[in-house]
Structure 1
Amino acid sequence: MKRREFMQAAAAASLAAYAGTAARAQAWPDKPVRLIVAQPAGSGPDAIARMVGEQLSQRWKQAVVVDNKPGGQNAIGAQAAARSAPDGYNFYFATSAALVTNPYLFKSLPYDPQKDFTPVGMIGRVPFVLAVNTASPAKTLQEFIAEAKANPGKVTIANEGPKTFGGMMTRLFGSQAGLQVNSVPYVSIGAAVTQTVGGQTEAVMGDVPALIQMIKAGRLRPIAVTTARPVAGLETVPSLAEVVPGFDYAGFMAIVAPAGTPAAAIQRFNRDLDAVLSDKEMAAKLLAVGPMTEGAGAPEQMAAFLQAEHTRWGKLTKDIGILPE
C-alpha cells in the first residue's frame, strides 16, 4: 500500500513539474527581451533588427530592446552576447562576419562562435554586387574582365577593407578569374560608394542595400552579383558564377542565443520569428533594405548551415591566402 501511495505521489509531482514547465514556456516572455546588435544605431543591421523586433514585440506583448554594441569587427557585440545570461531574455542579432568569417581573419577572438551560441533562426541572405562608375568603359562583366586583363593591377575596386565581406569577395573574384585588380579599402561602404561615384575608383564591391539607391539613380552601373541566383531588383544583372563557376556567396543575418538558453524560449522565438518573416509585406520591407528572407527555418537547419559555411570559408581563406592576424 505504501508503495502504491509513493508511486502515486511521484506521478503527481512529475505531472506538477511538467505543468509548471509548460506554463512557463507558454508564458514566455513575461518581461522585455534584449536583442544585441554589433553595429551602430542607424546602420543596416540595426534598422532590420528594429523592424523584426517591433513585429515580435506586438506578438509577445513585451518590449524588444535593441542594445547596440558596435566596434571591433563585431567582436564587442558578440562578446557581450556570449557573456549574457542564458535565461531566454538575451539574444544576438548576428551577421556572417561574427558567426563565420571572423575566426579565419583574427588569431584571437573574445568569443567562440561555434561554442558560445545556440542557433535560433535565420533572418536572410544579403547579396553583394559589383558596380562600376558610369564613366567606366566597361558596360558588362565580360568587358570589365577584359579591361582588367589588359591593364594588370590598374583597375580599382573599392570596398570596406581586406577583412570584410566585400574585400574578400573582391580578392576571391580576382583570384578565381585570373585577374590582377587593385583592391582599395575605405573606412565604410558609404565612403567606398561615394569615391566610386566620384570617379576616384572605377568599381565598388558592396552589399546590395548600400549600393541600390545609387544604382537606381543611374550613378552606378551594376555588372555582376555574387549569388548564383538572381537578386530581386537586379534580375537582369548576371552572376559572377557566369565567369567563375561555383561562385555563390552572400552575407547573412541570423538570431542566436547564448549557449545554455532554455529550449522552450528558443523554440518560441523561432516559431514567432518564422511567422514574422513569412508575412509577404514584412518580407518586402526587409528586401527593400537588405536581406532576402525565406523564413527562419528550424534551429537544426541553421546549425547545419553554419557548419557548412565554416568548412567552406576555412577552405576559401586558405585558397586566397588570407591568414589570421
Structure 2
Amino acid sequence: MNRRTFALNACALAIAGCLPNAWAQGWPEKPIKLILSQPAGSGPDAMARLIGDQLSRRLNQPIVVENRPGGQNAIGAQAAARSTPDGYTFYFATAAALVMNSYLFKSLPYDPKNDFVPVGMVGKVPFTISVNPGSPFKSLQELVAYAKANPGKLDVANEGPKTFSGMLTVLLSSQLGIKVNSVPYASVSAGVTDTVGGQIEVIVSDVPSISQMVKAGKLRPLAVTTAKRIAGWESVPAVAETLPGFDHAGWIGIVAPAGTPAAAIQRFNRELDAVLGDKDMAARLLAIGPMTEGAGTMAQMGALLDGEHQRWAKLTRELGIVPE
C-alpha cells in the first residue's frame, strides 16, 4: 500500500509539474488586450497599434488596443492594474505612469511599484526644445542668454507641471540658471499649434509630436534632451553639449498586472523582442517616436524601473517639488 501511495503521489507531482508548460504551450487562446493611457491618434497609440499588429501575427491572436486616456495616465494605469492577471491584459506604459506620478501626486488609484510586473521595453522617446522659425533664437545658447537678461519674460509651452514635458521645463530652467514662464496646455498638439502660429515662443515636447512641423519648416528645434544627437536629427545639438551629463528622455515599456503567469510574460517578452529586433520595424518606430534596442529581459526592465525611481525621487527633492 505504501508503495502504491508513493507511486500515485509521484505521478501527481509529475502531472502538476507539467501543467505550467502545458499552459504555456496553449497560451494565447484568445485575443490579448493592450491598454494605454493616451487617446487614439496619439504617438503612443500609433506605436501600440504598429507593434500590436506584428505581435498578433506571431501569437496568432488579435492584439486589441484599448485607449483609456485622462487623469495624467491614472485612468489607463488603474484599468490595467485592476485587470484579471490571466495573461490576457498588458499595459503599454509611459515613464510618467510607472515612475514620475509617484513623486507628483500624494495619492494615486494604483500603485506604480507593486501593481505591475515588468515585461519588456519598447524604446526611448527623445524630447526637444523648439521655436517658431521666425524666432530670433538660432541656438539654445542664444535662448539662454535672452532668458538670463530677461528673467520671467520667456514663455515655454508644455503639457503641464505633472507631465514629462512640464518636469523637463522645470529641470532645464533650474540647471540652465534661467527663469521662464511655464505655460501648460491641455494637449501637445495645442501647444504646437500656438508655437507654429507665433502665440508662444518656445515649446518643450516629444520629438514625434513635432517631427512633421520640423520637416515642413514650421518649427526650428534648438536641442534634444538625450545625451547625444539622435538619428535623423544630427544637425540638432544635444542639451548635454551645453549642460554636460544632461540625459532625459521619455520611454515606453510594457508591464502586466501583478500575478500574471510567468509563462505568458516570458512568451510575450520573447515575441516583443523579436518584433523590435526587426530592422524595418525599428525604422518605422523611429519615424514616429521611439528609439528601440529591443525588449531586453524582464530583469533588465525591472532594474531600469528601480533606477528611474531613484533618479526622479532625487530630482524632485532637489527641485523642491512636493506631491499634491
TM-score (structure 1 length as normaliser): 0.97
Q: In percent, how many aligned pairs have the same letter?
A: 65
The residue that corresponds to 1:312 in the other structure is 311
- Cα deviation 1:27-59 (Å, max 9, x = unaligned): 110111111111111111111111111111111
The residue that corresponds to 1:272 in the other structure is 271
Cα distance in structure 1, aligned partners of 2:191 and 2:313: 27
Cα distance in structure 2, aligned partners of 1:143 and 1:67: 43
The residue that corresponds to 1:31 in the other structure is 30
- Verify: 1:165 aligned to 2:156, yes or no: no
Shift of 1:308: 0.6
Within 5 Å, give how 1:170-249 maps onto structure 2: 170-249=169-248
Cα distance in structure 1, aligned partners of 2:152 and 2:175: 15
Q: Secondary structure at the match of 1:129?
A: strand
TM-score (structure 2 length as normaliser): 0.97
The residue that corresponds to 1:19 in the other structure is 18
The residue that corresponds to 2:115 in the other structure is 116
Shift of 1:25: 0.5
Q: Secondary structure at the match of 2:205?
A: strand
Cα distance in structure 2, aligned partners of 1:108 and 1:128: 27
Within 5 Å, give how 1:272-291 maps onto structure 2: 272-291=271-290
Q: Secondary structure at the match of 1:255?
A: strand
Q: Check conservation: 2:20, 2:263, Cα contact below 8 A.
A: no
**Which amino acid letter does the alignment assign opposite residue 166 of structure 1?**
S
Cα distance in structure 2, aligned partners of 1:218 and 1:43: 22
Shift of 1:20: 2.9
**Which amino acid letter does the alignment assign opposite residue 53 of structure 2?**
E
Shift of 1:289: 0.8
Cα distance in structure 1, aligned partners of 2:231 and 2:11: 56
Cα distance in structure 2, aligned partners of 1:135 and 1:147: 16
Query: What count of residue pairs does the alignment treat as equivalent?
Result: 324
- Verify: 1:323 aligned to 2:315, yes or no: no
Q: Secondary structure at the match of 1:322?
A: coil
**Which amino acid letter does the alignment assign opposite residue 50 of structure 1?**
R
Shift of 1:288: 0.8
Q: Structure 2 regions of 5+ residues with no counterpart?
A: none
Q: Secondary structure at the match of 2:254?
A: strand
Cα distance in structure 2, aligned partners of 1:163 and 1:77: 16
**Which amino acid letter does the alignment assign opposite residue 13 of structure 1?**
A
The residue that corresponds to 2:301 in the other structure is 302
Comparing 169-178 with 2-11, which one deviates more in the overlay? Answer: 2-11
Shift of 1:179: 0.6
Q: Secondary structure at the match of 1:200?
A: coil
The residue that corresponds to 1:7 in the other structure is 6
Shift of 1:118: 0.4
Cα distance in structure 1, aligned partners of 2:134 and 2:19: 68
Q: Structure 1 regions of 5+ residues with no counterpart?
A: none
Shift of 1:60: 1.1
- Cα deviation 1:100-120 (Å, max 9, x = unaligned): 111111111000010000000
Shift of 1:18: 2.4
Q: Check conservation: 2:228, 2:240, Cα contact below 8 A.
A: no
Shift of 1:8: 3.0
Cα distance in structure 2, aligned partners of 1:188 and 1:64: 27
Shift of 1:297: 0.6
Q: Secondary structure at the match of 1:260?
A: coil
**Which amino acid letter does the alignment assign opposite residue 155 of structure 1?**
L
Q: CA RMSD in A?
A: 1.2
- Cα deviation 1:117-170 (Å, max 9, x = unaligned): 000001111010001111111111111111111211112211111111111111
